[in-house]
A and B are shown apart, each in its own frame.
Chain A
């Protein structure tokens, strides 16, 4: 029997039985979609449709439709790419790293967080593909395919190529991890259903029967996948940061980038998980499963990673001064006081100052404050990437080519497209898939519920 200290808060409140868990989660899948769901889904799908115009324009006309110029060759595209990849870090962190650390509270949030990860990585992948200009040739530039140039292979010395391997491995391994976890829950829904639903969820459940031998193998697979996914999740944003750190652009050429990017990714990922989970628990009435304890613990992760990010910003500044390299020093002074000062100070306020409010227990246990701050954090993290990319480029070595970046309507449209895509996928997931991992919640129910304590 598992024993948990009695000082710990119960993970599932409301005295739920095993059957209650099944019922509360399956109910969402089995019921008719509500009017609220339809409205939310249509808004997301509408945004997707409007954004599709901008995506079509980009593919049809080329990336001249964006606000880029000869000085600033990367702007919103790579900002949005890094932003979405960063958001996509929380899911696998929650399910893999917290599994290795035996943090049982992960069980009720890992399913939705992993789904969010997968959808965020799909959105992120849109940008590198689109910014190639001719995406239909992209496979030859990104993958080592034999071709009629010799074969002239892709360049394995380039961090941009490492990124292709990192992001695609991360996406596919996260997808497999997520799906393996879904199989037992699909079986639960299958065994409650009749008719067409039984056929569909029967197929999705891969013939799962819950045999002790299969569970033993399942546990083994989960543990090894977690062990593989842990260095993987850390490698992805490390390699994304190499895209910048291995260049010789002042403001990018920094050895601090890998840990700083990884901390920032976890920071923004947890913020997005909070934004989504606060809505999901309310709409689906899952307050007994995603409790205040969960929200508070996630807020603590946000304070820690937010502080790491803050220290990284200050370290960068110090090192720029200490290095004695004039170009480096100018890049940082220009960030804080140049024409993009507003972006820099938005970043500082949102990422460094606002998460410190979570030191107050009142704030980190308030739903409204958490929800508001989770959005503030993601605005701040978008500005962080914008500051790193655009302000480092806009005043380069040659003052005659200094320029400013102004996003075009197409830039905005492509960004909107990814929002539409993300929320369309998330709403479909929330309706048709069990949003909470029932099997894992049941496995911690006995050792952590209120009933057992009495």
Chain B
């Protein structure tokens, strides 16, 4: 059976039922493809066993780049390329460079992190997302299970596990 084509969907109404259901389904040995929710459900990433996002590290590194670029640019322009006496200050008037350095740090950290987020989550205007259930952006939590990934278990058994974990509906969905 081909992977990533045929799915069983568990539909949940309530975020707390969903959280318990994810744990139950995972302990019974079923591999979950992904859960789609209309809003961020806190703790869902933990029960799904996702590793913490490394985006904060990306933000920090981009921020560091911003600080470095800003200080280098200002020192090069004001101290080396065209030194001028302004208000009797040092050519390298570091305290005066703090505001621009701060702003560029924030700018690069924010844009760098958001850029990494867009790329890692494949968010782009021309993206054609695969929607398992249109209600997943409205009021339902959708748990998608790839049948090809769970060949050791019968489909009926998986459906039974979903039902007993509190799913209000259990559907099938196939993609071309």
A residues bordering B, Cβ < 8 Å? 1-2, 17-19, 22, 144, 150-153, 155-157, 159, 161-162, 165-166, 169, 172-173, 176-177, 180, 183-184, 187-188, 190-192, 203-204, 206-221, 224-225, 228-229, 231-232, 235, 239, 242, 438-440, 442-443, 446
Contacts and interface: CB of A to CB of B under 8 A. Distances in A.
Contacts of B81: 151, 153
Contact of B138 (A22, A180, A224): A22
B100 A442 contact: no
A272 to B, nearest CB: 24
B162 interface: no
Contacts of B123: 183, 206-208, 214
A165 B103 contact: yes
B139 A22 contact: yes
Top 7 nearest A-B pairs by Cβ distance?
A: A207-B127, A18-B139, A162-B99, A206-B123, A442-B39, A153-B77, A165-B103
Interface string B109-149: 11101100110111111111111001111110000000000
A224 B111 CA distance: 11
A417 B117 CA distance: 38
B36 A216 contact: no
B14 to A, nearest CB: 8
A191 B77 contact: no
Contacts of B106: 169, 173, 228-229, 231-232
A217 B77 contact: no
Contacts of B135: 191
Interface residues on B, range: 35 or more
A157 B37 contact: no
A210 B131 CA distance: 9
B153 interface: no
B121 A217 contact: yes
Nearest to B100: A165
29 contacts: A144-B73, A156-B78, A161-B100, A162-B99, A180-B117, A184-B39, A190-B137, A191-B135, A191-B138, A192-B134, A203-B125, A206-B118, A206-B124, A207-B129, A211-B36, A212-B36, A212-B37, A212-B50, A213-B34, A214-B123, A215-B44, A215-B45, A216-B45, A221-B113, A221-B117, A231-B102, A242-B99, A439-B40, A440-B39
